[in-house]
Amino acid sequence: MKSTGTAYLLWIIGCHRFYLGRPISNLLLWASCFVGVGFIWLVVDLFLIPGMVREENAKAFGVVGVAAAAVAGVESANQNAQNIVINMVAPVAPVVEKNDPGPESAFPGVADKA
């Protein structure tokens, strides 16, 4: 699973696209930096990195398609919600009758030693 923080650290030296599985565009980025327009590309990538990380993580989860990043986020959230629901046990409240005199009558002849 790729990290956004790691991608931003690699952005500083211009290697973030290698990390995110885009080696050809990283080489083009480096070439355009020699011409002078690559620095604009780097600034734009500041805003694109989170989406590229989500997309790369979606590929790791096996989700493909146009909305792969969004689907991966939903799948992850759904899985977490299912885990929470499965691991929770609802407390069962005892059923109390309206005319129930209390626990001492539950076992006639046995005194409560409390």
Q: In this predicted model, which residue has the larger pLDDT, 113 or 25?
A: 25
Dist. CA 45–CA 25, nearest whole Å: 11
What are the pLDDT digits (tens) for 77-93?
A: 555 555 554 555 556 66
Are the C-beta atoms of residues 39 and 33 closer than 8 Å to each other? yes
Dist. CA 49–CA 12, nearest whole Å: 12
What are the pLDDT digits (tens) for 27-53?
A: 999 999 888 888 899 999 999 999 999
Residues whose CB is less than 8 angstroms from the CB of residue 4 and which lie 6 or more positions away in sequence, other chains included: 49, 50, 53
Instruction: Give mean pLDDT, residues 63-88.
Output: 54
